[in-house]
Structure 1
Amino acid sequence: MSKQYKNIQIAIDGSKEADVAFKSAVEIAILNDANLEILHVVDTRAFQDVSSFDSEMVEQVSNDAKTKIEDYYQRALDAGLKHVHYSIEYGSPKNIIAHEFPNEHNIDLIVIGATGLNVIERLLIGSVTEYVTRTAVCDVLVIRQQLAQKQDIKNNK
């Protein structure tokens, strides 16, 4: 027995892994005639360490996120999805991706890249993906980095 998903969340951060996960989420949404929620979380913890808090910096980060997410939105529409929405949230990516956003939008599947961080960043702040897979309120599909690398090899041929 296979489950049909109705509300799929894809978390994007601009990494290659997130891009490959996005492509998988679009395919799954098409197969299930599901709603796709594209989510980008601006990690506000990064601003807490800035001694001279600069509102222009926050505005630039917000504008970059909006440009990035609108591109993903258009790609989903171009792929044939009819039900696509996007959101930019501010706060802790782990909590928003795993709990807040899925609860607010009745998400039944989270699609996420294996990691968007390098090894040092994962050691220092922990993997968002690891947290999401352990604590999410719904099913989680993790798209592994090897798939992203295979995609790069295929695209360069």
Structure 2
Amino acid sequence: MPRAMRLTWPSPRTSRRCYRRGDVLSLDIDTIEHNLQHQVTGLLAAVQQVVPDMASRPGSAILVTGGGLSLAAENRALAKAANAMGGVAVAAGKAAQRALVHSLAEGLAPKGIRVAEVVVMGGVKGSASVGDRGTVLPEDVAADFWQLYTAAPDAASVSVSRG
């Protein structure tokens, strides 16, 4: 299995390791490292693997699934929610992922590769992590990805799913 796949392949314990309730100062470093490895290091390793082939294909796109907690740095209510649900590590990882997506978008544009992110604002209904409690329909996320993919290459790089 390529390194990128090993770093990003989800495991049954991923959700359990991502959310840890308790005071933000009691968050263990392993949980932060786990989130950064999956959301940032894995993304970069995957992109590094595919860019050489994508650069020779006009209209190539790398589309990334982001999370609403990535906006916690800009939104006090989301930061409060991240703390309340034990999602500080997820918020940190998704914010770092968002920064990487924007850097990749700038860096790969000259190669003709578009990098963009769909930020999912809430749990996806029917997913393993939230089941029927999800507020975002999978078909809405799919529609946002399709809209982002078919948008003009210079269109905004971030789309927000309803939630």
Same fold (TM over 0.5): no
Question: How would you bin the TM-score normalised by the shorter chain?
Answer: 0.3 to 0.5
Question: Normalization by structure 2: what TM-score?
Answer: 0.35
Higher strand share: 1
Question: Normalization by structure 1: what TM-score?
Answer: 0.36
Greater relative contact order (CA < 8 Å, ≥ 6 in sequence): 1
